[in-house]
Amino acid sequence: MSRNISSTGANLAEGPTAGPGSSHDDPDPQVEQFSISSFTFDRRSAAVPARSGGKSAGPSQRNRVTPMTTIANSEAAQIWDGPMGDHWAQEWDHYDRSLAAYHHHLLAAADLQPGAQALDIGCGNGRLTRDVAMAIGTGTATGLDLSTAMVEKATELARHQGVTNARFVHADIQSHEFLPKTFDLALSRFGAMFFADPVAAFANVGNGCKPGARLTMVAWQPAAANDWLVQIRGALSSAGDLPPLPPTGSPGPFGLADPDRTVALLTESGYTSVKLEALVEPIWSGNDPEDALRHHLSSPNLVGFFAGLNGERQDQVLRALRQAFADHWTAQGVVFESAAWLIRATWDR
């Protein structure tokens, strides 16, 4: 999901979300473990449940990417450059499949030209960066992200696919020092909703763009328009009241959900011709209910959520989640309705 889908980094109890971890043959003796159904968890925040019959996954190794030197979005960095980023890197294929319909809208709207210089804002595991790189041929696509693990995964996947004109940088878009007037276009697939200061962040992107450069993004519409979130929160609430979702417009999955505010902040940042188009597409959550359940339970935030429940309430929530996924199981897998904005603007400074 956002970055999600799920995409600040998504807690399905509070809001949506959306390199592989190393494997351990033996449990960490200092980490308390517990089980829910066929899934095994540990109580550290970086825990990820193992697939049934498999090994539990530990934190990603972090020796291949130079740390960021300047960070403006420290809260988002704590989330994404940690367990949540590790989870997205481990589940990269699942998330790419989940967002496929919006991915195709974004590519079609981007008007990619051979030889262009492109920037991917919040590139995650790099699927958009790689596809843009292949489309622009002799040009270069550069992806930036807060997550070490996802930058590592993006680099690995580009190398594996032989995409030589894609590069990835571990950086904070809001504070990164871009070379002036470099990019012909900037894009984002659910990666631009998390800025602490969106005006400063989008202005900084513009500083790296040529006059007339195009900005094309997809970002979630409000939570109530996204049935996948409504249904999953409904299942989680079977254990009791949930915290409220982050307010629309605050840093997080719905940071660009208010169309009037989005037009205003992009205009203030230096963009013109700002337009939003409503998109309604299915979002894929798994091959079947058990696959969807495994994926969602592997979110570090849901590990923490379940760790706070007693056995009876864990079972109650699991039954509710399984039922929600079963109710949305189709020939295409587990599919929910979702809604996003296609946002287009022009850098005019």
Nearest alpha carbon to residue 39 among 312, 324, 299: 299
pLDDT at 27 over 60: no
* pLDDT-based confidence at residue 8 (cuts at 50, 70, 90): very low
Let me know if 34 is exposed, middle or buried by CB neighbors in 10 A (0-12, 13-18, 19+): middle
CA distances (Å), origin 168, targets 55, 66, 104, 126: 29, 11, 21, 8
The per-residue pLDDT of the chain, averaged, comes to 84
Q: In whole angstroms, what separates CA 206 from the centre of its chain?
A: 22
The span from the CA of 102 to the CA of 170, in Å, is: 24
pLDDT at 71: 72
What are the helix (H) ranges across 116-171? 127-136, 148-161
Contact call for residues 226 and 168 (beta carbons, < 8 A): no
pLDDT at 14 over 50: no
Tokens standing for residue 131: 């596809």
pLDDT at 211: 97
Tens digits of residue pLDDT in 264-284:
999 999 999 999 999 999 999
The span from the CA of 249 to the CA of 225, in Å, is: 15
pLDDT at 30 over 70: no
pLDDT at 138: 97
User: Which residues have CB under 8 Å from 48's CB, separation 6+?
Assistant: 21, 56, 57, 83, 86, 87, 90, 298, 300, 303
- Residue 65: what residue type? V
* pLDDT-based confidence at residue 69 (cuts at 50, 70, 90): low
Structural domain 73-347, CATH architecture: 3-Layer(aba) Sandwich (3.40)
Tens digits of residue pLDDT in 106-155:
999 999 999 999 999 999 999 999 999 999 999 999 999 999 999 999 99
Contact call for residues 89 and 153 (beta carbons, < 8 A): yes
Q: Can you give the residue ranges of every domain in the chain?
A: 73-347
Average pLDDT value for residue range 183-201: 96
The span from the CA of 53 to the CA of 55, in Å, is: 7
pLDDT at 245: 87
* pLDDT-based confidence at residue 64 (cuts at 50, 70, 90): very low
pLDDT at 194 over 60: yes
pLDDT at 45 over 70: no
Average pLDDT value for residue range 221-234: 96
Average pLDDT value for residue range 87-94: 97
